[in-house]
């Protein structure tokens, strides 16, 4: 395949070319750096491009391959890291003036694992200030542009990760997700956003926001790319399951319409069309109504007291380093009483059990990833944060793995995120079902 199209390949495809010697990591890395040079000025996805370090890593990957050492499917693959995740010797801003001069001495554990797998880090990508928001409108580094439409929000907080993947600047990017911050940008930018089970990927070396809810995950273009990146980030070898001959036939799909299908009716309509197609192909739709899901709104709100605990000291001493919006949100969370916070902590286990009970009758839960489309930049409606995060937050609370995959809206070509969520701890099972559903919906 001509070099100008390398960025369109899947990780497995480009890895096979590299392993055979058809493509070198240095050539691929230079190709992606050229795309960053050409496109990032309009997208604003990258905050820091680590050109020299990337080319050194690519050269080392090629040298290892020539000596017969192959580290796995991410060997020599260019990726990006969200800027609240430490990379040794590279500035980490967390999208904030508070961290403007911070250069970590050590890699985050997840970065160490990715480097050990042979991945080539092209740089750090932008985000909402302190990862505390659903947009990518950053007051210090400027808005991150949506690769599908430069006039639209890329979503937050991992908007730089989603934009870079969607524009073909990297094959994968790390993101973080406390309420929706991987799956909402994926929904906005038409990419795959995977939030694994709680603690499936280490948060050591990641700037915390709400430790009770913080997850590290991936943004990629396909589910198979998500699986390969997740396996490297979590430190195990991915073994893809065989694709059944009968596709989704017999798969039990749980649906909770009462809670998850409000907001934009066209998004709900697109999801209903997907469900109808999967049912036509033999999947069983299981209607569920777990009343306890409503508790997620109160529990998550109270747990965000941890955001104030994370940054309250700096807010008191260095208010000028926070935007007015961040200051207001943190001050609001400071008013959550310790009693209400402790009540929310105590209810987390019960909430997880509620969702476990919902999974007894189905193999996967399906819902809209969000119930609003990306806003026009600078034109945020009042309930944007709520509609962006309400559905996704459920699975941060429960600790279940959850993935957004792009599907088409009925009236437009722009995609929406179809959110699939599985059983706690069964990340491989969810990824296998997601790949099956992705294939089933793309083939109709």
Tokens read off for 242: 């065989």
> Choosing from 181, 212, 232, 300, which is the catalytic residue?
181
In the chain, what are the domains?
3-234 (3.90.1300.10)
- Is 181 catalytic? The answer is yes
For residues 369 and 391, the answer to whether their CB atoms sit within 8 Å is yes
Q: Name the CA radius of gyration of the chain, rounded.
A: 21
Mean of the pLDDT values across residues 266-275? 95
DSSP 130-197: GG-SS--EETTTEEPEETTEEEEE--SSSHHHHHHHHTTS-SEEEEEESSSTTHHHHHHHTSEEEE-S
Dump pLDDT digits (tens) for 188-197. Answer: 999 999 999 9
Q: pTM score > 0.95 for this model?
A: yes
Dump pLDDT digits (tens) for 19-77. Answer: 999 999 999 999 999 999 999 999 999 999 999 999 999 999 999 999 999 999 999 99
pLDDT at 409: 63
- Is 82 catalytic? The answer is yes
DSSP 213-273: T-EEEEEESSHHHHHHHHHHHHTS---PPPPPTTTTTT-EEEE-HHHHS-S-HHHHHHHHH
Res 157 pLDDT > 90: yes
Alpha carbon of residue 28 to chain centroid = 24
pLDDT at 236: 85
Res 413 pLDDT > 80: no
> Choosing from 15, 25, 82, 389, which is the catalytic residue?
82
Dump pLDDT digits (tens) for 198-208. Answer: 999 999 999 99
Mean per-residue pLDDT over the chain, rounded: 95
- Is 389 catalytic? The answer is no
Dump pLDDT digits (tens) for 219-245. Answer: 999 999 999 999 999 998 887 777 787
Half-sphere exposure of 288 (CA within 13 A, CB side): 28
Dump pLDDT digits (tens) for 291-350. Answer: 889 999 999 999 999 999 999 999 999 999 999 999 999 999 999 999 999 999 999 999
> Choosing from 157, 158, 161, 163, which is the catalytic residue?
157
Tokens read off for 201: 């990927």
Tokens read off for 19: 């392993």
Q: Could you tell me the pLDDT band of residue 444, with boundaries at 50, 70 and 90?
A: low
Q: Which among 188, 95, 175, 107 has a CA at the least distance from the CA of 148?
A: 188
Dump pLDDT digits (tens) for 364-379. Answer: 999 999 999 999 999 9
């Amino acid at each position: 395949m001509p070099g100008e199209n390398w960025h369109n390949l899947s990780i497995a495809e480009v890895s096979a070319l590299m392993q055979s010697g058809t493509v070198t990591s240095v050539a691929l890395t230079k190709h992606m750096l050229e795309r960053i040079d050409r496109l990032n000025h309009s997208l604003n996805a990258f905050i820091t491009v680590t050109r020299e370090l990337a080319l050194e890593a690519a050269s080392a990957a090629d040298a290892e391959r020539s000596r017969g050492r192959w580290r796995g499917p991410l060997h020599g693959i260019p990726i990006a890291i969200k800027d609240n995740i430490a990379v040794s010797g590279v500035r980490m801003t967390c999208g904030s003036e508070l961290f403007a001069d911070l250069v970590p001495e050590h890699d985050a554990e997840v970065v160490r694992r990715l480097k050990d797998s042979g991945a080539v880090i092209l740089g750090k990508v932008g985000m909402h200030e302190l990862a505390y928001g659903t947009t990518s409108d950053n007051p210090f580094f400027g808005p991150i542009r949506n690769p599908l439409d430069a006039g639209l929000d890329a979503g937050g907080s991992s908007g730089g990760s989603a934009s870079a993947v969607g524009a073909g600047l990297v094959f994968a990017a790390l993101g973080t997700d406390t309420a929706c911050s991987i799956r909402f940008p994926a929904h906005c930018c038409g990419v795959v956003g995977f939030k694994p089970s709680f603690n499936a990927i280490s948060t050591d070396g990641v700037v915390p926001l709400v430790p009770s809810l913080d997850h590290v995950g991936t943004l990629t273009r396909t589910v198979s790319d998500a699986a390969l990146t997740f396996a490297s980030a979590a430190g195990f070898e991915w073994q893809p399951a065989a694709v059944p001959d009968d596709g989704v036939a017999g798969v039990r799909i749980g649906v909770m319409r009462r809670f998850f299908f409000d907001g934009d009716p066209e998004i709900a309509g697109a999801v209903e069309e997907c469900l109808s197609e999967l049912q036509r192909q033999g999947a069983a739709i299981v209607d569920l109504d777990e009343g306890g899901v409503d508790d997620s709104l109160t529990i998550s709100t109270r747990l965000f007291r941890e955001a104030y605990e994370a940054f309250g000291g700096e807010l008191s001493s260095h208010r000028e380093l926070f935007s007015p919006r961040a200051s207001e949100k943190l001050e609001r969370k400071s008013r959550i009483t310790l009693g209400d916070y402790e009540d929310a902590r105590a209810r987390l286990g019960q909430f997880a059990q509620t969702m476990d009970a919902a999974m007894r009758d189905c193999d996967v839960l399906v819902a809209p990833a969000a119930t609003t489309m990306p806003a026009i930049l600078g034109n945020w409606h009042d309930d944007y944060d709520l509609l962006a995060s309400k559905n996704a937050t459920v699975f941060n609370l429960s600790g279940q793995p959850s993935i957004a995959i792009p599907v088409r809206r009925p009236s437009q070509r722009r995609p929406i995120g179809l959110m699939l969520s599985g059983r706690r701890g069964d990340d491989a099972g969810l990824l296998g079902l997601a790949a099956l559903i992705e294939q089933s919906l793309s083939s109709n």
